[in-house]
């Protein structure tokens, strides 16, 4: 099976970034005041070598926009692309599909779209031009499949993902399970075996300590593809995670210095078994994510210091 050709790297190559670069909290609290929207990605790329594209969860990216992303970032920059919510088994209204697919998609009540293999293939076809641009510049990382909590082993089977993974066999795919029942007890071994068979990366998480079915277990660092380990940090606020009404409210958490040191140790441990480790901060209230990501870079010795106030640049090692 084809693998994504990550560039040659040291055994401990660890890339750090955030889940999007344009969250409102970033704009209000992290980017320099008055920075034009068109300049934000370039400024972000002065601080980080990788980012997770979040907008693709809601819409198919315009290739012209993707070309601008590539022009705004250094040659070594990496974009992980979050797959559309329909592909991730989330309830999806027809208005979030490309217009020409809305006419052929079948609805299953309240204008929610029924996912079929044909529609799955059609959605991937919509993504391919933009993915080809990123791949052509050497900037395409993994495709992130952030599964819905409703995708559970009680109602579904992992084989349901086989068609999608087959279509994407020439791409690196990282899968985040948002239903913990896939990752505990007897089900865990079957889940890991499935991922290894499809050369897919299990997304490890840092999440609240809770047995709630919507919170995956933290500390599960199984390597299912030796080319890439993927760690997403959601914060450790269980009440906010479960009851928050907005994305910022759900992932409202500011990591302490001691916790950043824990993440640094965990990242180094993952790097012993994977060629690359990519760490994505998703604690995206205010500017918590970029500040935590910079502190992790400092803890790993990747930068000399972190900025003390908004807009201050740091010195690179």
- List the structure tokens of 165: 């993974």
Q: How many Å apart are CA 257 and CA 192, to the nearest integer?
A: 32
Residue % of the chain over a pLDDT of 70? 91
Determine which of 11-15, 137-141, 164-168 has the lowest per-residue pLDDT on average.
11-15
Q: Which residues of 191-202 are buried (b: 16+ CB within 10 A; e: fewer)?
A: bbebbeebbbbb
Q: How many Å apart are CA 245 and CA 101, to the nearest integer?
A: 30
Write down the pLDDT at residue 258.
Answer: 97
Q: How many Å apart are CA 38 and CA 41, to the nearest integer?
A: 7
Task: With respect to residue 21, please indicate whether it lies within any of the assigned structural domains.
Answer: yes
Per-residue pLDDT tens over the stretch 32-77? 999 999 999 999 999 999 999 999 999 999 999 999 999 999 999 9
Task: With respect to residue 4, please indicate whether it lies within any of the assigned structural domains.
Answer: no
Q: How many Å apart are CA 91 and CA 148, to the nearest integer?
A: 8
Write down the pLDDT at residue 317.
Answer: 33
Q: What is the CATH number of the domain that holds 149?
A: 3.20.20.410
Per-residue pLDDT tens over the stretch 226-285? 999 999 999 999 998 898 888 888 899 999 999 999 999 999 999 999 999 999 999 989
Between residues 306 and 24, the one the model is more confident about: 24
Write down the pLDDT at residue 307.
Answer: 62
Residue 79: enclosing H or E segment and its boundaries?
strand 78-82
Task: With respect to residue 308, please indicate whether it lies within any of the assigned structural domains.
Answer: no
Task: With respect to residue 313, please indicate whether it lies within any of the assigned structural domains.
Answer: no
Q: How many Å apart are CA 42 and CA 35, to the nearest integer?
A: 11
Kindly tell me if the per-residue pLDDT of 189 is higher than 70. Answer: yes
Q: How many Å apart are CA 141 and CA 223, to the nearest integer?
A: 17
Q: How many Å apart are CA 139 and CA 137, to the nearest integer?
A: 5
Residue 18: enclosing H or E segment and its boundaries?
strand 13-18
- List the structure tokens of 49: 């070598």
Task: With respect to residue 316, please indicate whether it lies within any of the assigned structural domains.
Answer: no
| Per-residue pLDDT band at 291 (split at 50, 70, 90) | very high
CB atoms within 10 A of CB 136: 10
Give the list of residues 6+ apart from residue 221 with CB closer than 8 angstroms, or none. Answer: 204, 229, 231, 266, 269, 270
Half-sphere exposure of 272 (CA within 13 A, CB side): 7
* β-strand partners of 18: 281
Write down the pLDDT at residue 98.
Answer: 87
Write down the pLDDT at residue 102.
Answer: 82
Kindly tell me if the per-residue pLDDT of 14 is higher than 80. Answer: yes
Residue range of the domain that includes 122? 13-299
Residue % of the chain over a pLDDT of 90? 78
Write down the pLDDT at residue 104.
Answer: 76
Q: How many Å apart are CA 111 and CA 31, to the nearest integer?
A: 38
- Structural domain count, the chain: 1
Task: With respect to residue 6, please indicate whether it lies within any of the assigned structural domains.
Answer: no
Are 47 and 290 in contact by the 8 Å Cβ rule? The answer is yes
Write down the pLDDT at residue 107.
Answer: 67
| Per-residue pLDDT band at 310 (split at 50, 70, 90) | low
Whole-number average pLDDT of the chain: 90
Task: With respect to residue 178, please indicate whether it lies within any of the assigned structural domains.
Answer: yes
Task: With respect to residue 7, please indicate whether it lies within any of the assigned structural domains.
Answer: no
Determine which of 10-24, 148-162, 167-181, 234-248 has the lowest per-residue pLDDT on average.
10-24
Between residues 208 and 100, the one the model is more confident about: 208
Q: How far is CA 116 from CA 19, 94, 107, 146, in A?
A: 28, 14, 11, 18
- List the structure tokens of 316: 């690179």
């Amino acid at each position: 099976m084809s693998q994504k050709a990550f560039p040659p790297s040291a055994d401990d190559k660890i890339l750090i970034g955030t889940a999007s670069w344009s969250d409102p909290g970033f704009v209000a609290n992290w980017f320099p005041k008055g920075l034009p929207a068109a300049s934000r990605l370039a400024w972000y790329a002065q601080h980080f070598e990788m980012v997770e594209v979040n907008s693709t969860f809601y819409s198919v990216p315009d290739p012209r926009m993707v070309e601008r992303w590539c022009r705004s970032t250094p040659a070594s920059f990496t974009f992980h692309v979050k797959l559309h919510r329909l592909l991730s088994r989330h309830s999806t209204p027809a208005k979030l599909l490309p217009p020409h697919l809305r006419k052929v998609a079948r609805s299953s009540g309240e204008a929610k779209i029924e996912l079929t293999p044909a529609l799955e293939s059609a959605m991937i076809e919509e993504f391919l031009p933009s993915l080809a641009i990123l791949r052509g510049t050497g900037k395409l990382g993994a495709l992130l499949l952030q599964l819905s909590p409703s995708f559970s082993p009680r109602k579904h089977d992992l084989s349901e993902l086989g068609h999608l993974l087959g279509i994407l066999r020439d791409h690196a795919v990282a899968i985040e399970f948002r239903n913990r029942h896939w990752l505990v007890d007897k089900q865990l071994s079957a889940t890991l075996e499935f991922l290894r068979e499809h050369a897919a990366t299990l997304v490890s998480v840092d999440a609240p300590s809770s047995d709630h079915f919507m919170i995956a277990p933290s500390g599960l660092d199984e390597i299912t593809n030796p080319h890439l380990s993927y760690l997403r940090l959601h914060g450790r606020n269980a009440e906010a995670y479960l009851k928050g009404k907005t994305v910022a409210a759900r992932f409202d958490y500011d990591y302490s210095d001691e916790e950043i040191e824990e993440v640094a140790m965990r990242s180094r441990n993952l790097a012993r078994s994977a060629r690359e480790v990519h760490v994505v901060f998703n604690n995206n209230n205010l500017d918590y994510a970029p500040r935590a990501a910079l502190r992790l870079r400092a803890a790993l010795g990747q930068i000399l210091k972190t900025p003390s106030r908004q807009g201050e640049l740091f010195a690179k090692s």
